[in-house]
Copies of this chain bind each other. A is one copy, B any other.
Amino acid sequence: MNHLTPTDLTAALQWRYATKGFDSNKKIDSATFDALLESLRLSPSSFGLQPWKFIVVENTALREQLRAQSWNQPQVTDASHLVVLAVKEEIGASDISDWINCLAITQQTPIDQLAPLQGMIQGFTGGMSADDMLQWNTRQLYIALGTLMTSAAVMGIDSCPLEGISPAAYDQILQLEGSGFRTKVACALGYRSDMDKYATAPKARFAADRVVTRL
């Protein structure tokens, strides 16, 4: 398997930035974009519950509508691809059962051997308030967001996370209302424009001694 060296990884992460200006003529090829979608699908989540849906918005008219609900940020329409990350609001007994079935089939494990795990997940999630569950699920979604942006960077793909959006308007435009999923954040993916002045700005981060402690 091919890996990145520490130097390669750091270079890729230094190169990455929240791309404001995308080159609208440059498209991510389908093999690369499929790998980005796989990075989302393979993301880790608590208990493996995958409380999420990823919506790839290809329709130009929809992207225009979404842009109007995103402070008119041009990334929404100009980037090669736009992915909306939606959270599953609730994890109920049938979701847990779906997950246990998925595990049983994939790992060829008799379902009754997974009963203790199923009970444990049910006990854990059953004790949560609706709001706590939504927050917990949303945190898992942000693992997927981090996975996506890092996966993009190591393949030389630009990205811009978009929190400055109107989730309720997105839900309406994407017809998520009543689906059990809610828009939380989006991510534009593609190639930086030569004109983006932010592309060459040095990356600003606090020094390591402020954010890292060794005990």
Q: Is A183 an interface residue (CB 8 A)?
A: no
Structural contact, B56 and A35, CB atoms closer than 8 A: no
Chain A's interface size range is 35 or more
Known: A102-B206, A151-B13. A31 touches B6 (CB 8 A): yes
Question: A interface, by DSSP: helix, strand, loop or mixed?
Answer: helix
Is the Cβ of B1 less than 8 Å from the Cβ of A156? yes
Instruction: State whether A39 touches B204 (Cβ < 8 A).
Output: no
Which B residues touch A201, using CB under 8 A?
Answer: 107
**Complex formed: what's the CA distance from A95 to B92 in Å?**
39
* Inter-chain contacts of A139 with B (CB < 8 A): 138-139, 142
CB atoms of A35 and B50 under 8 A apart? no
Smallest CB separation, A71 vs chain B (Å): 11
Known A18-B44, A44-B161, A140-B142; judge A4-B4 contact (CB<8 A). Answer: yes
Residue of B nearest to A143 (CB): B146
* B59 adjacent to A154 (CB under 8 Å): no
Evaluate contact between A102 and B205: CB separation under 8 angstroms: yes
Q: Is the CB of B150 within 8 A of A39?
A: yes
Task: Please tell me if the beta carbons of B102 and A6 are within 8 angstroms of each other in the complex.
Answer: no
Report 22 cross-chain contacts, Cβ distance below 8 Å, ordered by A residue.
A1-B15, A2-B8, A3-B12, A5-B155, A6-B155, A9-B39, A9-B154, A16-B44, A48-B205, A50-B211, A53-B212, A53-B213, A55-B213, A56-B213, A56-B214, A57-B215, A62-B215, A99-B206, A107-B204, A135-B135, A145-B146, A154-B154
